[in-house]
Amino acid sequence: MRYGHFDDERREYVIDRPDTPLPWINYLGTEEYFGLVSNTAGGYSFYRDARLRRLTRYRYNNAPFDLGGRYLYVRDDATGDFWSPTWQPTRSPLDSYECRHGLSYTRIASARGGIRAETLYFVPLGETLEVWRVRVTNDRDTAAELSLFSSVEFCLWDAQDDATNFQRNFSTGQVEVADGVIYHKTEYRERRDHFAYFACSEPLAGFDTQRDTFLGPYRGWDQPAAVERGAAFDSEAHGWAPIGSHHVRLALAPGETREVVFVLGYAENPRTEKFDPPGSQTLNKRHVRPVIERWLRPETVAEGFAALGAYWDRLLGTLRVTTPDADTDRMVNIWNAYQCVVTFNMSRSASFYESGIGRGMGFRDSNQDLLGFVHMIPDRARQRILDIAATQMATGGAYHQYQPLTKRGNNDIGEGFNDDPLWLVLGVSAYVKETGDQTILDEPVPFDNVPGSEVSLYEHLRRSVTYTQERLGPHGLPLIGRADWNDCLNLNCFSDTPGEPFQTTENASGGGAESVFIAGQFVLAAKELAAIAELRGRDEEAAGYRAAAEKMTAVIIEHGWDGAWFRRAYDFHGHPVGSSENDEGQIFIEPQGMCVLGGVGLDDGLAVRALGSVAERLATPHGIILQQPAYSDYRIELGEISSYPPGYKENAGIFCHTNPWIMIAEAMVGHGDRAFDYYRSINPSAREAISEVHRCEPYVYAQMIAGRDAPTHGEAKNSWLTGTAAWNFVAITQWILGIRPELAGLRVDPVLPAAWSGFRATREFRSATYEITVRKAAGVSGRVAYLVVDGERIDGTVVPPAPAGAVVAVEAVIEQ
């Protein structure tokens, strides 16, 4: 069952009923000011940091699930009938409803009783504000006397404090209303000097700034007293809950449309210029007045919206594909790429499943996210890398997270996730391959942001590799520490006394448990670093890294191979995890993917064998399960993984992030059909037809789909902010379609499903454009036999970089 459809031409997903199984959301903003917006206008806004600079309030885990947002009310002043044109919060029946989620904008249109309202929400480039452009049309053949009310509930900036510290916060709220603009000027705890403003293009019939006056006693957002009676109270908030609401009266002739613009923005005042006149309580808002005036003008709004479209044309123009599969095309060309940029902006901070207060930016997560957006925004990727690397320690170890506002490592979760440092090598290598920019390797980067501790980024990479080499366990495999990629595989939660639970932060990473996953990742990273070393003429170092990769490969084969697949780990007691010797958790997906990505088992058939086991034991029509059999009970020696009910999250859920590793591995061994089947099984667009099962948005990946042990098998959860976005983009574009940036140039080496007869693509790469045609007869499943580059046949599959501005025609011919 569908709840809408894709409009590929306009790069939109069109939702045609408001009661989607879960809120289907979108993001506004591309630079510093961001918002989340659902298909019924729920969500919130923030400036740079979703925790510390939250403009509007949102209550998570609400009932209904999504309540609170950028709400409007239309009232027919002749009858008193009122409704929300975005359906929420009144949920009044609508004669028509349509929500179009586009690239950094959302448009929600509806009609009731012959009155149509269409609202466009977006954040203009270069501004710290959002625009709501509302068009109200009278489709009746009589005149209409209407009222339009806006509403937002202000957050008192620190979202965590706002949600908990009521003894204080019920007394701090302050607003000011001047020239029809509502200013929210509650002081932030540290008395930073910023404020929010909410303006309207029309003369006001009234306003409200105190929530409980606007709503009335014992009422909710579905039935505000001001709207019901058709007149605002002109309330001024002193403490309690400041809101912003404008009341506008509209008299519309038959057929007439009126455009009303609302602008919600963020501004700062230097401390000395905070008040006007100095020392008074009146906000100095001189600098924002011109901004407000400009953005209330319909022409500015139209130009701003067009500029946003052009921005996305530019970003998405980097790679365009035309394949025989529509779901592939729309994900690669539009939605997957878009999700990668959103993940760049948000990391794991703010979604409808991430509260915006819980987490900073992940060291591991951000490095992987980079793989999905580096081709679109290389400059920002460069900066991101330098920021991440600056949180690394001199030991090569890393803070697991850092704070976006301060860019400092944050020790809330601690360190000792022993996979972390190696992701930096993979992130940097992806950047250098994409851009050819080797200067980044010489950038001075501090350790733990301590001035004076700077060494080159290249040295940081070396330390990442050394970090693993210096932490090997009894089998010569890397120590896992607190956990590796799988946060919940906590193998050092040992107990000396049987039956005695025992786990502290200190000992969680101190034991001897080992990870085969990190071993595979090490092989991959050491090879990548060897190639970078060679590029810099450090052949001896390169040889050292290659030798280290070989040595680790041998250890994996000796101690990490279980007979038909790669083992997952050894626990604190030295028992294998992910082995046929285990009663549960016999086979895990992660080492099958990562070892093959590192090239382990490619020559001796182990890779093919392991992938066969994945197909046999882990694959389902809804994606590949993380491990099987699911743990049925808690086991202290395995930790949190066994605390999840079977089929969810890390305990045998379909953890989508890992699936592309298998797609890539299958492509590496030449299995185009299997790689593509796996790709389609979790491709959200390909799952659109089963939206009642999948339940999350059909245009973006979710972190997890419930596994076969769960009663809700096939149900997705935790959409948007997941490494799934970047890795699927890499799997489909670089390995299945095979357009892969390498140090030496652009490789074109697809591994396609047999039924396809080729595809076409345009790829911007290092300032040149590659027009790629892949030809293959349907039914054939071979690899590229030769390339023809600008009419000349070349050996191998790497197209050397062309001069900037060149347009290069590449033809790849696949033969049996």
For the annotated catalytic residues, the residue numbers are: 487
Contacts (CB under 6 A) with ligand BGC, residues 1-60 = none
**CA separation for the pair 566, 521 (Å, rounded):** 13
In terms of CB distance, is 362 or 738 closer to ligand IFM? 362
- Tokens in use for 363? 């060291």
Lateral strand order in the sheet of 702-705: 654-655, 702-705, 716-719
Contacts (CB under 6 A) with ligand IFM, residues 635-674 = 650
- Check binding of 487 to ligand IFM (CB under 6 A): yes
Distances (CA, A) of 207 to 75, 82, 125, 177, 478: 15, 17, 29, 9, 63
Q: How many residues does the chain have?
A: 816
User: Residues with Cβ < 8 Å from 521, sequence gap 6 or more?
Assistant: 419, 422, 423, 426, 484, 485, 594, 598
- x/- contact string, 457-496, with ligand BGC (CB under 6 A)? ------------------------------xx--------
Q: Which does 54 bind (CB under 5 to 8 A by kind): ligand IFM, ligand BGC, none?
A: none
**CA separation for the pair 16, 491 (Å, rounded):** 47
Q: Strand, helix or coil at 630?
A: coil
Contact 532, 429 (CB under 8 A): yes
Question: Exposed e or buried b for every residue in 90-109, given b needs 16+ CB within 10 A?
Answer: bebebeebbbbbbbbbbbbb
Secondary structure of 509-542 as H, E, C letters: CCCCCEEHHHHHHHHHHHHHHHHHHHHCCCHHHH
Q: How far is the CB of 178 from ligand BGC (least distance, A)?
A: 44
Contacts (CB under 6 A) with ligand IFM, residues 275-314 = none
Point out the residue whose Cβ comes nearest to ligand BGC: 487
Contact 657, 723 (CB under 8 A): yes
Q: How far is the CB of 487 from ligand BGC (least distance, A)?
A: 4
In terms of CB distance, is 98 or 365 closer to ligand IFM? 365
Which residue, among 539, 629, 549, has the nearest Cα to 588 in the 3D structure? Answer: 629
**CA separation for the pair 331, 346 (Å, rounded):** 20
- Tokens in use for 102? 């586009």
In terms of CB distance, is 209 or 490 closer to ligand BGC? 490
Q: How far is the CB of 779 from ligand BGC (least distance, A)?
A: 41
Lateral strand order in the sheet of 409-410: 361-362, 401-402, 409-410
In terms of CB distance, is 347 or 691 closer to ligand IFM? 347
- x/- contact string, 636-665, with ligand BGC (CB under 6 A)? ----x--------xx---------------
- x/- contact string, 94-133, with ligand IFM (CB under 6 A)? ----------------------------------------
Q: How far is the CB of 663 from ligand IFM (least distance, A)?
A: 18
Q: How far is the CB of 720 from ligand IFM (least distance, A)?
A: 13
**CA separation for the pair 198, 181 (Å, rounded):** 6
Q: Which does 364 bind (CB under 5 to 8 A by kind): ligand IFM, ligand BGC, none?
A: ligand IFM
Q: How far is the CB of 485 from ligand IFM (least distance, A)?
A: 4
Q: How far is the CB of 348 from ligand BGC (least distance, A)?
A: 7
Q: Which does 562 bind (CB under 5 to 8 A by kind): ligand IFM, ligand BGC, none?
A: none
Q: Which does 640 bind (CB under 5 to 8 A by kind): ligand BGC, ligand IFM, none?
A: ligand BGC
Q: How far is the CB of 423 from ligand IFM (least distance, A)?
A: 9
Q: Which does 486 bind (CB under 5 to 8 A by kind): ligand IFM, ligand BGC, none?
A: ligand IFM
User: Residues with Cβ < 8 Å from 384, sequence gap 6 or more?
Assistant: 344, 366, 370
Q: Which does 485 bind (CB under 5 to 8 A by kind): ligand IFM, ligand BGC, none?
A: ligand IFM
- Check binding of 666 to ligand BGC (CB under 6 A): no
In terms of CB distance, is 491 or 802 closer to ligand IFM? 491
In terms of CB distance, is 12 or 365 closer to ligand IFM? 365
DSSP assignment, residue 42? B
Element (H, E) at 809: strand 807-814
Q: Which of 29, 362, 409, 512 binds ligand IFM (CB under 6 A)?
A: 362
- x/- contact string, 467-486, with ligand IFM (CB under 6 A)? ------------------xx
Q: Strand, helix or coil at 437?
A: coil
| Cis ω for the linkage preceding 660 (within 30 of 0) | no
Which residues would be at the binding site for ligand IFM (CB under 6 A)? 362, 364-365, 485-488, 650
Which residues would be at the binding site for ligand BGC (CB under 6 A)? 487-488, 640, 649-650
